[in-house]
Amino acid sequence: MLGYLSYRELGEWAKNNRHRLSQEFNIIPERVPSYSTIRRVMMGSEWQSLLRLFNEWALSGQVFAEIIQGHWKIENQLHWVKDVIFQEDKSQISDFQAASNWSILTTMGLNLFRSLGFISITEGQRWLAERWKKLIGLST
């Protein structure tokens, strides 16, 4: 459809272009259309008008760069940390459910360290290592 957009990004695109979509497709402005709504409306539209509309909204290099940077920000804040600090890619866990559970636990650990104000996860691990007996005492 728009080439580079996934379904989730298409939903975001619809939110950002709500007013223009409302005008072009005669949709009530207060209702942000979902992907399925847009698809249904597009099924009954002339492709020439759609092509004109999408060409008008073609991405600039700046917008494309922002999308890529947003993806890598998530990659660097979560997946890179889980791989380097917790060595997730080297894990010997072969059972899918066990690997999923371990991934959830490491994400919870990252969230705990970040909520406690640690920028460095390694510092958070050291802090926890010094206090684990107190934490276990609190949980029993």
Nearest CA-CA partner of 82 in 98, 106, 118: 106
- pLDDT value of residue 1: 44
- For residue 2, pLDDT beyond 50: no
- For residue 83, pLDDT beyond 70: yes
Inside any domain, residue 68: no
Residues 53, 92: one domain? no
Residues 53, 81: one domain? no
- Please provide the size of the chain in residues: 140
- For residue 68, pLDDT beyond 80: no
Of 79 and 108, the structure prediction assigns the larger pLDDT to 108
Residues 94, 121: one domain? yes
Q: Is the pTM of this model over 0.85?
A: no
Inside any domain, residue 65: no
Give the residue numbers spanning the domain of 50. 7-58
Inside any domain, residue 66: no
Residues 79, 53: one domain? no
Of 44 and 110, the structure prediction assigns the larger pLDDT to 110
Query: Which has the minimum average pLDDT: 73-82, 97-106, 118-127?
Result: 73-82
Torsion angle in degrees (nearest 10) through CA of 115, 119, 123, 124? 10
Residues 49, 12: one domain? yes
Domain count, the chain: 2
- Determine how many CB atoms are found less than 10 A away from the CB of residue 107: 14
